[in-house]
Amino acid sequence: MSKKNIIAVSLDEAEAMEDRTRDDAPEGESMGPDFWKNARVVYPHAPKERLTVRFDSDMVQWFKAGGRGYQTRMNAVLRSYFEAQENDRTEP
């Protein structure tokens, strides 16, 4: 998780969060079936580099089975791993 997604809270605020449930969530815009039918994953655009790389065949087939955008999904998995490793390295 990037640092911009991390917020500091007091002990009292953290303890108050423990008591919240889904039913306590503030009311927001309705996200009924029509919302989810039209929902799609949006990946931020970043400059990409063309590269030849070798993956295990079963991994490639699994991602391809998900349809169009499989290379973007593979990149998202690698980025998630990268960010986790970076966070582990920077935490005391």
Q: What is the pLDDT of residue 49?
A: 86
> For tokens 């007091």, what's the residue?
10
Q: What is the pLDDT of residue 23?
A: 66
Give me the pLDDT at residue 27, please: 64
Please tell me the predicted confidence (pLDDT) of residue 87: 80
Q: What is the pLDDT of residues 18-75, one digit of tens each?
A: 666 666 666 666 677 777 788 777 767 777 888 999 999 999 999 999 999 999 899 9
Q: What's the Cα-to-Cα distance from 83 to each of 2, 17, 51, rounded to whole Å?
A: 7, 26, 20
Query: Where in the chain are the domains?
Result: 56-92
The pLDDT of residue 40 is: 75
Residue 78, pLDDT > 60, answer yes
Nearest to 75 by CA among 57, 92, 51: 51
**Who has greater pLDDT, 68 or 14?**
68
The dihedral formed by the CA atoms of 43, 36, 22 and 9, expressed in degrees to the nearest 10: 20
